[in-house]
Structure 1
Amino acid sequence: MKLPKKKQDIVDAAFSVLSRKGKRATIAEIAGAAEVNESAIYYYFKDKRELLFYAAGESLRRRTIDLQRELEGISDPISRLSALIWFQLTYHDDEPGYARYSILDCRADREFFHHEASIHFINWTRIVNTILLDGINEGSFVPEIPFSVVNSMIMGLIDMENIQVFTGRWKGSARDDFDAILYLLLPVLTEPYSKKDGELQDERELILQAGERVFAARGVDQVKISDIVKESGLNQETVHSCFGSPENILLSVLRSRFAENRFRMPIAVESTSPSEKLVRFIREHFLFFLGEPSFVTIFLAGGMYNEDFYCSSDYEEYEAYLGTLDDILNEGKEKELFRSGVENRVFINLFNGCFSHLMIRWLNMPPRSHFETTRIMQWAVKLLLRAVEAPNG
């Protein structure tokens, strides 16, 4: 993002003022710091919002250079990831004006992710992904981890940690939770997955899900095997070997749904294990918002990334809703199914952060298919559970 000198000078001035005052920075203050007339700012920038986008991008560009310098000489992927998390928590503690604007105003603003300054945010996530890839290649991290979900967990958790500090919901520093953050994240990255965990869905399940969607869209008498092959993303030989015909797929869809419901109904009316309760809570949370796409935008911009939300009775209502998570975590620890060192408050930040970042990602870069959305959601549920489960839970 190479800018003309005067435009760059204005961005540098905006960055300086933004670091002190956040979005309360005025055009007059920025013009004064840049030693230009206000008209010069409007010559280069449409409005204050666009200028502050550039300033946020400039700050992140400089911070990325500092981070890369910080990571030089650290070869171990776990140590590099730990250093990145510490670096970001520290920067946000030391630069609250910038951090408030970057997190509370840019994250939930869809225009920011269509602005050229967002490339610096993307570059930051690429550093995280590089660390994850290095960890996989060197054997420090398990190879099955889905980058989009893990990245959302890491970045989202840091966001929520800082928001809790900015809004006075947590009286300490975000750095205070550094050990608790690693305690949640490292098992997600390092503990081996069973074959079932890694696959999440076998080929038969993929075909049944694809068949259900195709039958619903075209009618039960209008579907060819090639339609289901295309929807599933598998090859024709695989689909044929599993089911043989569209009729068999249709009957299997019905049988699978009945069996699933027969299994789930007792769970719905009887007491369940804390692990199952946690899975159900997270899944239902995702499904509710996926069924209300218009509300997602409102919830992010007016809720999770809105400072006023955290000082309102609406947040108290949301906090009461999250109290269910608190109860589940406590029960899991009492039954020794969850690790005793899990900090409930930090896990709730992880849950909120992972969900929020995935929703931001989906709003700005929608998944290619319903299947992809479902698969990512399943991974999020699996990894959030993995963050708290005891090794033999």
Structure 2
Amino acid sequence: MGVGEKKKEVNNNRRKLILKAAQEIFSQKSLMDSNISEIAKKAGIADSIIYNYFKNKEDLLFYALSDKLKDIEKDLKLHLEGILDPASKLGKMIWYHLYINDRVPGGTQILKALLFECRSNKNFYTHEGYNTLRGYTRFMSQILQQGVDENVFRPDINVILVRNLIFGLLDEESLSCLASKEIESTLSDFSGIMDLIFAIISKNETPPPGNNDDKENRILKAAIQVFSNKGYNTATISDIAGAANVAEGTIYTYFDNKKDMLFSIPKKRFCALKNSMGEMFNIKMPVRKLRRFIRLLFTTFMGDRDFLRVFLLDIKLNKQFYASPVYKDYINYISILEDILEEGKEQCVFRKSINPRLFRHLFVGAFNHLATRWLILSKEKPIDMMQEIEDVLDLLCRSVVVNISVLNDFEDRID
């Protein structure tokens, strides 16, 4: 080995050492709370050496996730070797995600923590590290497209939408296990997950008030705008007080601290949404009720981009959210889905085998992925987004109905 090759190998090894140290530190602390010095100490090098490989702490975070994803993808491809048919390949890829949740908890927690940090940072979506995440998700798209090309999956599926639904469901499963502790393991849900997914893509026909309140609301409205424009970590109580035109001390009359204010934002929104849904429950047809509920959530959130940005980036991807009391309010609202599903089962419109919690994850995961893409990455016109919402509604309903003719009948009735 020549001098140049030895030097290259040393650089590669050192870079890898820095990335591994960064993965551990960033998974234990947030980007804001960690620093280059502790990463350098963990790697056994001087602080200055890190800047030979990475521009700054944020750049290091994004590459740390990229490095972790490359390891995961390499291992996944080993699991898929020798599997030729797309249905088995898709099942194996989903099984692998659940497997690393349950069997490699330390590594999974590092991966999920890095994803939390990166996906809640707008700069990540223009960074080279994002391309690794895109490449990984594209791998599933290729499997789905193979299924379409080989006439195994429905020829009319939107591959990108279905991919987002699947990854969204898997994200929610991970959070349910690793963050909120709602379930102890995810592998036990494998058959239920595949039941939902194959119902979507299979070719067969069985798919599937007062002044004080006004002031509090004014503060929350100002907080949404400030958090959306500056980001939660950068925003200060003083910024919010100025935007709300109140004294800084007034804010502490209503909220204990900035975090309390952040988590009060969705609580208010979910309570208002739930109180506005009385009319919906006069609807007798479960399919119509399911579509109305899902459409209401999509359109309500998409109608307030500041709230959507704060909810997606600062709340939903904040690990503290899942340990907060407001998480129960969130689940209480989303659980309306489960009531609708049970009603549909009783009327023999929805399949008895549906796991309501898994369907909730499918829906919420799809919403998160689509809304993030619309908010940060895309330039879609409102009419394009509305059409995509309707397409998602069709896919979600297909996953639960006893027979596709139920959807056809529903369409006939509303025409």
Instruction: With the length of structure 1 as denominator, give the TM-score of the two structures.
Output: 0.75
Q: Secondary structure at the match of 1:145?
A: coil
2:300 pairs, out of 278, 281, 288, with 288
In 2: Cα distance, 1:369 partner to 1:55 partner: 34
In 2: Cα distance, 1:390 partner to 1:76 partner: 27
The Cα offsets for residues 302-336 of structure 1, whole Å up to 9 and x where unpaired, read as 22211111122222221121121111011111111
Contact 2:125 2:377 in 1 (8 A): no
Q: CA deviation at 1:144?
A: 1.0
Matching residue of 2:180: 168
Matching residue of 1:355: 367
Change (3 A) 1:330 1:30: same
Change (3 A) 1:358 1:112: same
Q: CA deviation at 1:11?
A: 4.2
Q: CA deviation at 1:383?
A: 0.7
For 1:32, give the aligned amino acid. K
Change (3 A) 1:308 1:33: closer
2:54 pairs, out of 21, 45, 55, with 45
Matching residue of 2:201: 189
In 2: Cα distance, 1:31 partner to 1:314 partner: 37
Matching residue of 1:337: 349
In 2: Cα distance, 1:340 partner to 1:145 partner: 24
Residues 248-263 of structure 1 aligned to structure 2 (within 5 Å):
none
1:109 pairs, out of 121, 124, 130, with 121
Change (3 A) 1:30 1:97: farther
Residues 204-223 of structure 1 aligned to structure 2 (within 5 Å):
none
1:309 aligns with 2:321: yes
1:299 aligns with 2:308: no
Matching residue of 1:138: 150
Q: CA deviation at 1:127?
A: 0.7
Q: CA deviation at 1:21?
A: 6.6
Matching residue of 1:389: 401
1:66 pairs, out of 67, 72, 75, with 75
Change (3 A) 1:8 1:123: farther
In 1: Cα distance, 2:100 partner to 2:9 partner: 28
Q: Secondary structure at the match of 2:399?
A: helix
For 1:82, give the aligned amino acid. G
In 1: Cα distance, 2:302 partner to 2:378 partner: 12
Give the fraction of aligned pairs with identical amino acids, expressed as a percent. 32
Q: CA deviation at 1:342?
A: 0.9
In 2: Cα distance, 1:315 partner to 1:168 partner: 9
In 2: Cα distance, 1:8 partner to 1:283 partner: 50
For 1:297, give the aligned amino acid. R
Q: CA deviation at 1:343?
A: 0.9
The Cα offsets for residues 79-136 of structure 1, whole Å up to 9 and x where unpaired, read as 1011111112222441133222233222232211111011111111111111011000
The Cα offsets for residues 314-366 of structure 1, whole Å up to 9 and x where unpaired, read as 22221121121111011111111111111111111111100000111112321
Contact 1:142 1:189 in 2 (8 A): yes
Q: CA deviation at 1:8?
A: 6.1
In 2: Cα distance, 1:358 partner to 1:190 partner: 22
In 1: Cα distance, 2:314 partner to 2:320 partner: 8
Change (3 A) 1:120 1:8: farther
In 2: Cα distance, 1:268 partner to 1:322 partner: 15
Contact 2:179 2:322 in 1 (8 A): yes
Change (3 A) 1:108 1:191: farther
Matching residue of 1:100: 112
Contact 1:10 1:30 in 2 (8 A): no
In 1: Cα distance, 2:13 partner to 2:100 partner: 23
Contact 2:193 2:358 in 1 (8 A): yes
Matching residue of 1:151: 163
The Cα offsets for residues 191-222 of structure 1, whole Å up to 9 and x where unpaired, read as 4589xxxxxxxxxxxxxxxxxxxxxxxxxxxx
In 1: Cα distance, 2:101 partner to 2:18 partner: 19
In 1: Cα distance, 2:118 partner to 2:196 partner: 26
Q: CA deviation at 1:26?
A: 5.3
Change (3 A) 1:191 1:334: farther
Change (3 A) 1:111 1:346: same
Q: CA deviation at 1:174?
A: 2.0
Report how many residues are paired: 319
Contact 2:18 2:50 in 1 (8 A): no
1:346 aligns with 2:355: no
Change (3 A) 1:4 1:285: farther
Q: CA deviation at 1:381?
A: 0.8
In 1: Cα distance, 2:40 partner to 2:280 partner: 61
In 2: Cα distance, 1:290 partner to 1:5 partner: 49
Matching residue of 2:64: 55
Which structure 1 segments of 5+ residues have no match? 195-266
Matching residue of 2:14: 9
Contact 2:122 2:376 in 1 (8 A): yes
For 2:76, give the aligned amino acid. L
For 1:190, give the aligned amino acid. S
Q: CA deviation at 1:270?
A: 4.0
Change (3 A) 1:163 1:281: same
For 2:151, give the aligned amino acid. G
